[in-house]
A and B are shown apart, each in its own frame.
Chain A
Amino acid sequence: MVTRADWFVGTVTEAAMLTRTGRRLLVDVPGWPGNRPGQHLDLRLTAEDGYQAVRSYSIASFGHGQAVELAVDELPDGEVSPYLVEDVIVGDQLEVRGPLGGFFVWDAEQTEPVQLIAGGSGIVPLVAMARAHHAAASAAPFRLLYSVRTPADAYFADELLSLVDASFALDWVYTRETPSGWPRPAGRVTRELLAETSLSASDAPTVYVCGPTGFVEATAKALVALGHDPQRIRTERFGGS
């Protein structure tokens, strides 16, 4: 799917809160050429005085359809995310450019083991990969490590749980508050934790790491320290600290 990115006008067809701060938007985009699992789009908002703001959002959906699924986390002092989470309603129009990016993608032809590591809203492109892996009945071993503040902050939790099978494993890290009886205290992803909860370097997995920039930097560094080949670590940084 090599397609030139273009601007399209989409219409919001579904909008629902996923968590306290996260909202799922389904956008119908006539002419959308489809997208590979992991790609993103640029979303452009125009104020009445002509002022424009552009932000990137990963796409949770994949394949040929023109229904594009997004999940946006509201940053309290943000310019665009509070509008998308609190103001936009079904029927509103949004301008999007895409599909974008050929680096942070997984294709069903890949057969090697894959470790996915998400921090917060960094789960969005990895959900697309997990869905594609399932839809293709891929035998490639997949393991997802999902770091969230508290159990209530997880996006797509039920769906991810339903994907667990012989070729898809799911592990959680809670950084602020754990479910009761959880074996580990709340805390950040560390080298020791990665060693326990992710595929080892000896399996030579391709590792996809996505989330806030600080999370991605720390995780990639720990992966290299654990012996992963930097060339097989694919990263996508959402910004923030």
Chain B
Amino acid sequence: MSSHPFPHLADGVTSTVENVDGNALAGPLSALFAADLTTALVTCRHCGDEAPLATAVVERDDSSDIVICRGCTHTLFTLHHSPAGLRLDLAGLAALAAPPDS
């Protein structure tokens, strides 16, 4: 679509894991939820820790975002990206609460 095509480096490119945080989930989650979930409080099933999603550890690569509890390092949930779409795996999520003003 661009007059300067984005080169597909493919073959040589290996997918690296990027360590970011829950802020980076705002885009992907907007495909599933209308409200911004990065300010929502998430509760970890393993340690009970409750924190805004924006503060969670996110391990990102081309195919998934693994969302990890900062309290205990267990996985809260995983977002899988594929040509078939997005899939949310709610492994270790006990609760998700939206703040009153959202």
Residues of chain A whose beta carbon lies under 8 Å from any beta carbon of chain B: 2, 4-5, 9, 40-42, 45-49, 51, 53-54, 56, 79, 83, 87-89, 91-95, 97-98, 100-104, 213, 234-241
Contact = CB atoms under 8 A, between A and B. Distances in A.
Contacts of A5: 26-27, 30
30 contacts: A2-B36, A2-B102, A46-B1, A47-B6, A47-B7, A48-B8, A51-B10, A56-B24, A79-B9, A88-B4, A89-B3, A92-B2, A93-B3, A97-B30, A100-B26, A100-B36, A101-B38, A102-B38, A102-B102, A103-B38, A103-B52, A104-B23, A104-B54, A213-B21, A235-B21, A238-B20, A239-B18, A239-B19, A239-B60, A241-B19
A116 B55 CA distance: 17
Contacts of B102: 2, 102
Contact of A40 (B10, B13, B23, B34): B23
Contacts of B18: 239-240
B23 A93 contact: no
B39 interface: yes
Nearest to B10: A51
A97 B36 CA distance: 13
Interface string B11-46: 001000011111110110010001110110000000
A98 B26 CA distance: 9
Contacts of A54: 27
Contacts of A9: 1
Contacts of A49: 8, 10
B5 interface: yes
